[in-house]
Structure 1
Amino acid sequence: MTSVPYESILDTIGNTPVVRLTRIHEGGGALFAKLEAFNPGGSVKDRLASAVIAEAERTGALQPGQTVVEATSGNTGIGLAMVCARKGYPLVIVMPENASLERRKLMRFFGARVVLTPAVERGSGMLAKAIELAETHGWFLCRQFETPVNAAIHARTTAREILEAFRDRPLDYWVTGTGTGGTLAGVASVLKRERPQTRIVVCEPDNSTLLSSGITQTFDERGMPTRAHTRFRPHPMQGWSPDFIPQIVGKAMAEGLVDEIVPVSGGSALAAARRLATDEGILAGISGGATLAGAIEVARRAGPGRNVLCMLPDTGERYLSTILFDHIAEDMSPEEEEISHSTPGYRFDRSPSFAASPATPGEVSIDPAAHAFVDEAIGDPDHPVVMFALTWCEFCWSIRKLFDRAGIAYRSIDIDAPERQRNAMDGEIRKALRARIGSPTIPQVFVGGRHVGGCTDTLAAWKDGSLSARLAAAGIGHDPGACPDPDSLLPLWARAKA
């Protein structure tokens, strides 16, 4: 890796590492993995995203300021969102509604807009919507399932990196999954030419065997499949096998680039991804687990002395809301609770450490100015709703979200603001507030000079209608039906305790 500063984040795409998997070994051939999560956008699709935009700029197909649109289950969309953010293009991503929530949020975080299509319409539905949007609005459609750029970038980069990694040792098997087919077609074409002894193995879901069916796919003049593939069935490998065989994949199959097709079950994909994390310390997604599961089978059959390389296309962090993490609990397990109980302090089943500190005005010295500030804020007729808060407290943000949704005008006194910290008034205000209400927690909410309570008190008062009644009595406008489930505003880790 160079020590010279890069001109752009896009210059860091590629040159991902190949790592030997030494703990996942079952007596067969040596297992290696190419970790595409090391790309800046977290997946192999960064390569395509950067290349397809660069080629469109070069040919004039994409004009400055023109909107880019693409259909994707997620990784291409994240890569495009990164590239378009850096280059200044508006981006619209079309994806099925059952793609992971992390993918949507990542794309939107980069500034993209995400349009969801019904899950029942599958991959062909998202593609049809993207084509429709491009034709209607004059947007640039990337066409990842058919553009020659997809395979070309992998022939130019990924394949070369693999050849360099195995320069001094044989590569007996290269194992990959298939989504758009760009990685497959690009790498396989180079290996067939320069390492003909390397067998090309493609994995596909065992319940959705489009490739091994021998049934070809046809397309219309717009690039749409003329029908959904008859062998398609829903499967958990996001990014693999939509309900049609992409044109790039079909071409690779027709050209004889694939030596073997290995079916992989969803269960073995999940197990392999989880084992990859716990045994090798590598975080990969479900499709990476599926490819690894296929590679394990290939290595077992190949026997000692053979080298097997598999592609791990992305990171596992974009699967947190999926079945991959279903077995991971948010709360402490009995074993973890036992560890917590092995020492006496800082435990959930004990009072907080600050509970034993003085709570009455007579036991502590409080700056009179802090008392005056608290009294004035609570009684301010211009701000009848006031919240004493911490700037980045998650519970304070829960109340802010409630007030914003309900249209409640309020004053937030952030007692940890820098200007209050400079003269130590933050601590004095907190002591004065505690002396008044007897509670050390933040936030604390007041309406019309009367104390409502902390975060959970305020949410409960909203839920039972008493907060709405108090607001109405004080003449404060709001929408009583704005948030029927206020507990949903709590941070995720706290909802189970609400």
Structure 2
Amino acid sequence: MARYDSILDTIGRTPLVRLDTFAPPGVNLYAKVEAFNPMGSVKDRMALAIIEQAERSGELRPGQTVIEATSGNTGIGLAMVCARKGYPLVVTMAESFSVERRKLLRYLGARVVLTPASEKGTGMLAKAIELAETHGYFLCRQFENEANAEVHSRTTAREILADFRGEVLDCWVSGFGTGGTLKGVARALKQANPATRVVVAEPDNARLLGSGLAQPRQAGGVPASHPSFRPHLMQGWSPDFISRLTEEALAAGLVDELVPVAGSEALRLARELARREGIFVGTSSGATLAAALDVARRSPPGSNIVCMLPDTGERYLSTPLFDGIGEQMNDEELALSRSTPGYRFDAVPGGGGVRRPAPEREKAPLDAEAVGFVDETVAAEPVVLFALEWCEFCWSVRKLFARLGIDYRSVDLDSVAYQADDLGGRIRAVLAERTGARTIPQVFIGGEHVGGCSELFDAWRDGSLRGRLEDRGIAYDRDVEVDPDDLLPGWLHPRASIV
């Protein structure tokens, strides 16, 4: 272990892992696991290299906004670098890329401008150029920036060569997106040993390189959508154009073979990597492994093959990669739960048997201080939310109020302010007696009890909440359209995603 001055110093030096359960007998198949980079992808290397090159050249001024078009991983890497170095970041991204990527970018402080999926990669690139020219932003130009390729010659390739010191590397397998990894690594490997084969994988239904058709370009060299492009599953792979860096790699004779990969095979192998090797990666990694296995099956015993695994599987939770991965217990898991008597949803807590109604308890007298607090607060405040600080349903109510622009008071019963002498618990007992509901949150509007999260959302749907707000003169944004289901916790409602 080591100590570092900055998170940026931890980029690179990722492990090369042997895939014993996949390799044919006698063939040595290794994976370069780029998820070990701090932001979980190979793009961390390029993000730092582009920013530092622009700083050295003076293209990027202190405090200037950085902008780039990205499917997500480059943007996430840039967000980390810009956060550490103090640059604002804007990312343009087609709306078809996974929701997790948008959230990660915004979490890291970036602004995300979505472009229509129908405009594909060329659309998000054109939007980035347009915004950069209009606002004076620094455009990274990852698809043509030589710093993108240079960092892979200087780091990624050298790491691989160091791991094979004294041995022969027979083949290196990669996909392509910006072309930076392809050009940079292939160049350095070929310089070290011209016999090392470079194999490039691409989607079988979108064979831009395999088509043999030249990349069309508009005025100024801006790429147009390639005629062979079709939508495919491998996010980050093969945009709808061939980048300059990829064209340069091809023109330099760095690519020995193209292997088409089916999306279904990419999904299968990404899942198999997790279950057989314990390596958690995304769809594009599964696709690269598919191409590497194709090569391995045709290679003689003793061959050394390395394939790139570009990112982590956490970027794909909302994509087809996780189809069929349930949130609730399946039949097998339910049966396992029921095989012992305790800690079951259908059993009495702490013991066996099926749940039975709790026996009636003698009601304790309500606390006078808590009664006074509830009465005074409900009377004084137009909108009151009795909540728990980190309850997801309480946050769902807060999101609705925020969307509608409603001012409210939140009484967080479990917060430090209400822990002294269990004031929060005493207030909760008063609420349970007054409302007949033992759950939190509970909402009051104009002194009247509305209910919990479900009742509030139902009142918004049927229009009665609007009427209640207007009757009591409580301001809210009448033009907002919101589906409350979208505000519910993701584990409860499949559509819940705030992007």
- Alpha carbons of structure 1 residues 475 and 347: separation in structure 2 relative to 1, 3 Å: farther
Instruction: Describe the superposition over 1:237-294 as per-residue Cα deviations: whole angstroms up to 9, x where unpaired.
Output: 1111122211111111111111111111111111111111111111111111100111
Q: Distance in 2 between matches of 1:105 and 1:401?
A: 16
Q: Distance in 2 between matches of 1:376 and 1:60?
A: 62
Q: In the alignment, which residue of structure 2 is the partner of 1:11?
A: 9
Q: Secondary structure at the match of 1:50?
A: helix
- Partner letter of residue 281 of structure 2? A
Aligned ranges 1:52-201 → 2 under 5 Å: 52-201=50-199
- Alpha carbons of structure 1 residues 137 and 464: separation in structure 2 relative to 1, 3 Å: closer
Shift in Å at residue 409 of structure 1?
Answer: 2.9
User: Does residue 1:233 correspond to 2:221, yes or no?
Assistant: no
Does 21-30 or 169-178 show the bigger shift?
Answer: 21-30
Q: Distance in 2 between matches of 1:495 and 1:132?
A: 38
Q: In the alignment, which residue of structure 2 is the partner of 1:267?
A: 264
Q: Distance in 2 between matches of 1:16 and 1:323?
A: 27
**Aligned with residue 444 of structure 1, among 427, 442, 445:** 442
Shift in Å at residue 66 of structure 1?
Answer: 1.5
Shift in Å at residue 312 of structure 1?
Answer: 0.5
RMSD of aligned Cα (Å) = 2.4
Q: In the alignment, which residue of structure 1 is the partner of 2:338?
A: 341
Q: Secondary structure at the match of 1:456?
A: helix
Q: Distance in 2 between matches of 1:240 and 1:348?
A: 44
Q: In the alignment, which residue of structure 2 is the partner of 1:309?
A: 306
Q: In the alignment, which residue of structure 1 is the partner of 2:36?
A: 38
TM-score, length-scaled by structure 1: 0.92
Q: Distance in 2 between matches of 1:130 and 1:467?
A: 42
Asked whether the equivalents of residues 216 and 225 of structure 2 are also in contact (C-alpha less than 8 Å), the reply is no
Asked whether the equivalents of residues 216 and 226 of structure 2 are also in contact (C-alpha less than 8 Å), the reply is no
- Alpha carbons of structure 1 residues 425 and 20: separation in structure 2 relative to 1, 3 Å: same
- Alpha carbons of structure 1 residues 479 and 132: separation in structure 2 relative to 1, 3 Å: closer
Q: Secondary structure at the match of 1:492?
A: coil
User: Does residue 1:255 correspond to 2:265, yes or no?
Assistant: no
Shift in Å at residue 368 of structure 1?
Answer: 3.0
Q: Distance in 2 between matches of 1:166 and 1:356?
A: 67
Shift in Å at residue 400 of structure 1?
Answer: 1.5
How many residue pairs get matched?
492
- Alpha carbons of structure 1 residues 351 and 402: separation in structure 2 relative to 1, 3 Å: farther
User: Does residue 1:328 correspond to 2:347, yes or no?
Assistant: no
Q: Distance in 1 between matches of 2:61 and 2:486?
A: 43
Q: In the alignment, which residue of structure 2 is the partner of 1:372?
A: 372
Aligned ranges 1:202-241 → 2 under 5 Å: 202-217=200-215, 219=217, 222-225=220-223, 227-241=224-238
Shift in Å at residue 309 of structure 1?
Answer: 0.9
Instruction: Describe the superposition over 1:72-109 as per-residue Cα deviations: whole angstroms up to 9, x where unpaired.
Output: 22211111111111111122212222111111221122
Shift in Å at residue 349 of structure 1?
Answer: 4.6
Q: Distance in 2 between matches of 1:470 and 1:165?
A: 69
- Alpha carbons of structure 1 residues 118 and 495: separation in structure 2 relative to 1, 3 Å: closer
Asked whether the equivalents of residues 159 and 190 of structure 1 are also in contact (C-alpha less than 8 Å), the reply is yes
**Aligned with residue 295 of structure 2, among 293, 298, 309:** 298
Asked whether the equivalents of residues 234 and 283 of structure 2 are also in contact (C-alpha less than 8 Å), the reply is yes
- Partner letter of residue 427 of structure 1? G
Q: In the alignment, which residue of structure 2 is the partner of 1:396?
A: 394
Asked whether the equivalents of residues 27 and 303 of structure 1 are also in contact (C-alpha less than 8 Å), the reply is no
Q: In the alignment, which residue of structure 1 is the partner of 2:315?
A: 318
Q: Distance in 1 between matches of 2:90 and 2:13?
A: 28
TM-score, length-scaled by structure 2: 0.92
- Alpha carbons of structure 1 residues 310 and 92: separation in structure 2 relative to 1, 3 Å: same
Instruction: Describe the superposition over 1:470-495 as per-residue Cα deviations: whole angstroms up to 9, x where unpaired.
Output: 33443433356645522222111122
Q: In the alignment, which residue of structure 1 is the partner of 2:484?
A: 486
- Partner letter of residue 137 of structure 2? W
Asked whether the equivalents of residues 485 and 495 of structure 2 are also in contact (C-alpha less than 8 Å), the reply is no
Instruction: Describe the superposition over 1:379-400 as per-residue Cα deviations: whole angstroms up to 9, x where unpaired.
Output: x2x2132221101111111111
Q: Secondary structure at the match of 1:398?
A: helix
Shift in Å at residue 28 of structure 1?
Answer: 5.7
Shift in Å at residue 329 of structure 1?
Answer: 2.2
Shift in Å at residue 367 of structure 1?
Answer: 3.6
Q: Distance in 2 between matches of 1:497 and 1:66?
A: 37
Instruction: Describe the superposition over 1:341-383 as per-residue Cα deviations: whole angstroms up to 9, x where unpaired.
Output: 33445444568889966776x43365432233233333x2x21
Asked whether the equivalents of residues 463 and 484 of structure 1 are also in contact (C-alpha less than 8 Å), the reply is no
Does 30-39 or 448-457 show the bigger shift?
Answer: 448-457
Q: Secondary structure at the match of 1:95?
A: strand
- Alpha carbons of structure 1 residues 260 and 287: separation in structure 2 relative to 1, 3 Å: same
Shift in Å at residue 185 of structure 1?
Answer: 1.1
Shift in Å at residue 64 of structure 1?
Answer: 1.1
Does 253-262 or 368-377 show the bigger shift?
Answer: 368-377
Gaps of 5+ in 1: none
Q: Secondary structure at the match of 1:261?
A: strand
Instruction: Describe the superposition over 1:212-244 as per-residue Cα deviations: whole angstroms up to 9, x where unpaired.
Output: 23333354563312x432322221111111222
Identity among equivalent pairs (%): 61
Shift in Å at residue 339 of structure 1?
Answer: 2.3
